[in-house]
Structure 1
Amino acid sequence: MFMLCEGFMVPRDSIPDYWLWGYYLAFHSYSFESFVFKQFENETSDAARGILTKYGMENVDVTRDMLLLIVYIVGFQAIFAFILWKFHTGRR
């Protein structure tokens, strides 16, 4: 479901308000946004500008997106470590 909300299949501006939480919760959104922006930011063609405009990525803060991805990594590692600490009994 998160891949549907990441902005590739449905641009962020077209996602209904009641599904917009999926866009911000999915980590795919941040990587997709950064990669597309970095690919087309220095292009001068109308097609490149059109792609950025279609997906609403004219001004993207790549540093913020990368920091959010790092927060996701650290968060998932912390959750996994807690689960191992809480439920692992040392038995095989």
Structure 2
Amino acid sequence: MTDTPDGISVLELDALWEEFHQVVNMTSMELGAWLGALPDGTDTGEGERVLAILHKRRADLTGEDISTMYAVVDQVEADPDGTDPDIRRGELMALGHDPTKTA
């Protein structure tokens, strides 16, 4: 299988693309509104990167986009013990995942 310019196979990129879009279950409009409603001084860097990825075609992804996608999938799928559910929900929503949404 041919590698992408970022060193992962096309097959791996396809799988990542699908998994990322499954865990990021908020639309770009929903995510943008959520990020915009956060208090000033809140670090929204990763959420902004997710938002930018949602506006891209798979062929336009950069190495940084791919790293962000892996990180977001890992963070959403993590199950930290002892985290306040409201705090965890806010953190996940800042990444584009609303845990209250059903499939």
Q: Under a length normalisation based on structure 1, what TM-score does the superposition of the two structures give?
A: 0.35
Structure with max Cα Rg: 1
Q: Under a length normalisation based on structure 2, what TM-score does the superposition of the two structures give?
A: 0.33
The structure richer in helix per residue is 1
Q: Comparing both chains, which one has the higher relative contact order based on Cα–Cα distances under 8 Å and sequence gaps of 6 or more? A: 2
